[in-house]
Amino acid sequence: MTYLFISDLHLSPDHPRLVRGFFALLNEYQHQHTQLYILGDWFNAWIGDDYTAPWLDEIVSALQQFHNAGNQVYFQVGNRDFALGQKFLDQFHGILLPDDYSLNINQYTFRLEHGDALCTDDISYQRFKKIIRNPLILGFLRKTPLSFRTKLANGFRKKSHAAQQFKSYEVMDVNQHAVEQALVDVDILIHGHTHRAAIHELQGKKRIVLGDWKEDSAQILVIDPTQPDLELKLSTFDY
């Protein structure tokens, strides 16, 4: 069995090379009995599980083939695709995970999350997240027309991009205390969101930050549990 961790692909019809890169990853690990964990921002935006499009149909088809080959997909929502639900994942027997999830591999306990909850210094974002992720708000939005949700998502992206121009590096990165709290009951924390791929050591524990996907490569984490001591290092996947 192979454990494969990725995040921040930001797939969309506007970036076909990223979509092809995802297909290449599925092909690479299709015959390795892979547990694929996608830790948020799989898509650049998600306006609802009722959205359909040819480019998305191709992704679903590839994932069905991936599952039929004996693999399993797990997904955690990110700040871009928080509206993605189990209904979409059911098409290829994917499993929706909670915002933070514990995973045991050999003698180690891992905590998985997207990473945005760790950026507690970004007060304006955390305030927005609390509002937009409210179940009542999400329930209301799911009942609005797709055209309205598309305009809303585009507006959110533009405002987010504009706001980031005025935020410091430190504000948009993780908060040290939040990281320490996340590591209390686990050995290793894996997350994405910050786009700052690295492995950090903290009081004998590790924080692994997955990379965002570029036009030709991505920083991913692959774990082979058959190794006596788990080799934890980021790998470059070229496509």
pLDDT of 68 > 70? The answer is yes
Instruction: Provide the whole-model pTM.
Output: 0.93
CA terminus-to-terminus distance, the chain: 23
Q: How many whole angstroms separate alpha carbon 72 and alpha carbon 70?
A: 7
Q: DSSP H helical segments within the chain, as ranges?
A: 16-29, 54-68, 86-89, 123-132, 135-142, 146-164, 169-172, 176-182
Instruction: Tell me the helix, strand and coil percentages in the chain, rounded to 5.
Output: 35, 25, 40
Q: How many whole angstroms separate alpha carbon 42 and alpha carbon 219?
A: 14
Q: Render pLDDT for 136-170 as a digit per residue (tens, 0 to 9).
A: 988 898 889 988 988 888 887 776 666 666 566 66
Q: What is the CB neighbour count within 10 angstroms for residue 136?
A: 7
Q: How many whole angstroms separate alpha carbon 237 and alpha carbon 40?
A: 18
pLDDT the model gives residue 229: 80
The single residue listed with the structure tokens 């984490």 is 221
pLDDT the model gives residue 167: 62
Share the mean pLDDT of the chain: 94
pLDDT of 100 > 90? The answer is yes
**Tokens of residue 97, six digits:** 């995970």
pLDDT the model gives residue 146: 87
pLDDT the model gives residue 169: 60
Q: Render pLDDT for 107-133 as a digit per residue (tens, 0 to 9).
A: 999 999 999 999 999 999 999 999 999
**Tokens of residue 235, six digits:** 């790998």
Helix (H, G, I), strand (E, B) or coil at 177: helix
pLDDT the model gives residue 134: 94
Full set of structural domains in the chain with CATH: 2-238 (3.60.21.10)
Q: What's the average model confidence in pLDDT over 84-111?
A: 97
Between 135 and 156, residue with greater pLDDT: 135
Q: Render pLDDT for 15-67 as a digit per residue (tens, 0 to 9).
A: 999 999 999 999 999 999 999 999 999 999 999 999 999 999 999 999 999 99
**Tokens of residue 149, six digits:** 């949700």
Helix (H, G, I), strand (E, B) or coil at 120: coil
Q: How many whole angstroms separate alpha carbon 26 and alpha carbon 178?
A: 33
Of all residues in the chain, what percent carry a pLDDT higher than 70? 95
Q: How many whole angstroms separate alpha carbon 6 and alpha carbon 192?
A: 8
Of 90, 15, 17, 22, which is closest to residue 45 (Cα–Cα)?
Answer: 15
pLDDT the model gives residue 6: 98
pLDDT the model gives residue 228: 74
